[in-house]
Amino acid sequence: MNPQSIPDPELGSPGGPLVGLRVLDCSSLIAGPTAAMYLGDFGADVIKVEHPQGDGLRTWGAVKDGVGLYFKMLNRNKRSITADLHTPLGVEIVRRLAGRADAMIENFRPGTLEKWGLGYETLEALNPGLVLTRVTGFGQTGPERDRPGFGTSAEAATGFAAINGEADGPPLLPGFALADAAAGLAGAFLTLAALQGRARRGGRGQVVDLAIYEPLLTLMGPQLVEFDQLGLVQQRTGSRTPLIAPRNTYRTRDGKWIALSGASPSVFERLCRSLGVPELGADPRFRDNQARLANVDALDAALQAAIARFDRADLLARLDAAHAVAAPVRAADEVLADPHYRARGSFATVADADLGPLTMQNAIGRLSATPGSIRHAGPRLGEHNRAVLVDELGFSPAELRAGGIALP
């Protein structure tokens, strides 16, 4: 099955569960726009409000023909308008849009919306049902509320970097925007939770206060409770984990890599048998998960020696036949070629006015009746100024141009 192909970038969602929901995306860069992206994937009408100079993400990362690829992916299914919120015109644009929206997402420093006359009390008076999702580095409250914060700060300060890396190496930050991406997913969930709560509150909206560090702090798992109850502090162990053994990456004969884990006795036994070393399964040092954790250096050395006798493709075939738990370590080229991902529709190919056919990750999950979809890639800057600002909100072309807003 080929990736989903939608030739018309202006197609609306025929049946996403959030059709009819309007979201005002006043955020920039990664965390806030990610939250809005998830809502747009499932049918919400997302209007992205950008400074006339554009979201900074338009120039981040790899570009093709002057077009930022990350922006195209992260701002898919959105309409773009421009407004400078430092001006009365920009503020009025947001006021009118907020009056018609179900939710608004912003990621300015605490107090910034209030300085512009767009605090929640003002917006609530215009639209009592509005949900305002505020995404900041450290939240709207607390002694560090005014600190600038990006995902890097969260990845360091929540404990992630401290356990990431080799035992004798430095703490490692992730190679992608992990904390921001996690905050985006949480932001979408919290926005929908608040909208569901609106029905229970007589149609009244509320404020969602999300700090970027909070989702990653929870994703870290049992570290805090283990320290609280046992005084344990997890250390860096490379690809190993203190929970199960084996769990690591191993190099194959042809210089490629696989990842495997095998905590249960049956899985470990099948792994050893498929590798041609059944004696490891009978070794008292490896008799159960706790014993394997206590002897993990010897275990990994023995597994690496066995794995190094096979090319990756042959090894994976053997492991699959034995129902062992393993996977190839892949880069993007192999990910896009994976037949299972393609069969499940994990990729979407859309027509784009700037770049032509463009393939990216599809909407996550599969809803049987109202699936999500990628209807178009990220829009051109201000592409929908006329449709939204003139045709819908009633601004005249003359006053928009006088305020520095270009019309397509």
CA distance 134 to 96: 19
CA distance 407 to 318: 61
Whether 228 sits among the annotated catalytic residues: the reply is no
Residue 174 DSSP one-character state: -
CA distance 407 to 254: 56
Active-site position among 25, 102, 180, 352: 180
**In the beta sheet, which residues pair with residue 64?**
67
DSSP string of 219-237? HTTTHHHHHHHH-------
CA distance 300 to 296: 6
**Number of Cα atoms under 13 Å in the Cβ half of residue 360:** 27
Residue 246: cis peptide before it, omega within 30 degrees of 0? yes
**H or E element that contains 341:** helix 339-343
b/e per residue 106-120 (b: at least 16 CB within 10 A): bbbebeebeebebeb
**H or E element that contains 371:** none
CA 73 centroid distance within chain: 11
Instruction: Specify whether the CB–CB gap between 13 and 369 falls below 8 A.
Output: no
Give the three-state DSSP class for 151: helix
DSSP string of 299-329? HHHHHHHHHTTS-HHHHHHHHHHTT--EEE-
Residue 236: is it exposed, middle or buried by C-beta count within 10 angstroms (0-12/13-18/19+)? Answer: middle
Cβ partners under 8 Å of residue 221, min gap 6: none
Range list of β-strands (E), 101-218 = 103-106, 131-136, 207-211
Of 7, 13, 10, the closest CA to residue 369 belongs to: 13
CB atoms within 10 A of CB 323: 11
Active-site annotation, residues:
180
